[in-house]
Amino acid sequence: QGQLVESGGDSVQAGGSLRLTCTYPGHTFRFSCMGWFHQAPGKEREGVASLTGHGDLTYYRDSAKGRFNISRDNDKNAVWLQLSRLKPEDSGMYYCAPTRCGSITALGNYWGQGTRVTVSS
């Protein structure tokens, strides 16, 4: 099956922006509801945002609303997470994964390597 690959993480100052990219080979997750998850050091992964198979509907956790934006292009096998007005608590690893549609709950165990975001004060 296709392996999810995350990229775009970097070190930025508080208030900065980043665009994270999730890709996969073939069409393994095409039309699957997909999401982004955040894992702070020493903590469990938590859902950040998700969207439906065609990107028509999006969902965000409260701390992401108004700051983050999730989007996709199925023809490019890509899902993005635009991070804006970043805060130190946003630091950590970010992973993408298929989700239960209409939620930010991961399905299965398809985690990739993740990409690291570090936000300094």
* Rounded CA separation 121/29 (Å): 36
Say if residue 1's pLDDT is above 60.
no
**Per-residue three-class SS string for 76-110:** HCEEEEEECCCCHHHCEEEEEEEECCCCCCECCCC
Placement of tokens 């945002």 in the chain = 49
Torsion of CA 39, 37, 75, 1, to 10 degrees: 70
According to the model, what pLDDT value does residue 26 have? 81
31 in helix, strand or coil? coil
Express each pLDDT in 35-87 by its tens digit. 999 999 999 999 999 999 999 999 999 999 999 999 999 999 999 999 999 99
According to the model, what pLDDT value does residue 38 have? 98
Placement of tokens 């209409």 in the chain = 102
Q: What is the mean pLDDT of residues 18-26?
A: 93
- pLDDT-derived band of residue 2, with 50, 70 and 90 as boundaries? low
Placement of tokens 């804006």 in the chain = 84
Q: Which of 1-10, 74-83, 86-95 has the lowest mean pLDDT?
A: 1-10
Say if residue 7's pLDDT is above 60.
yes
Say if residue 28's pLDDT is above 90.
no
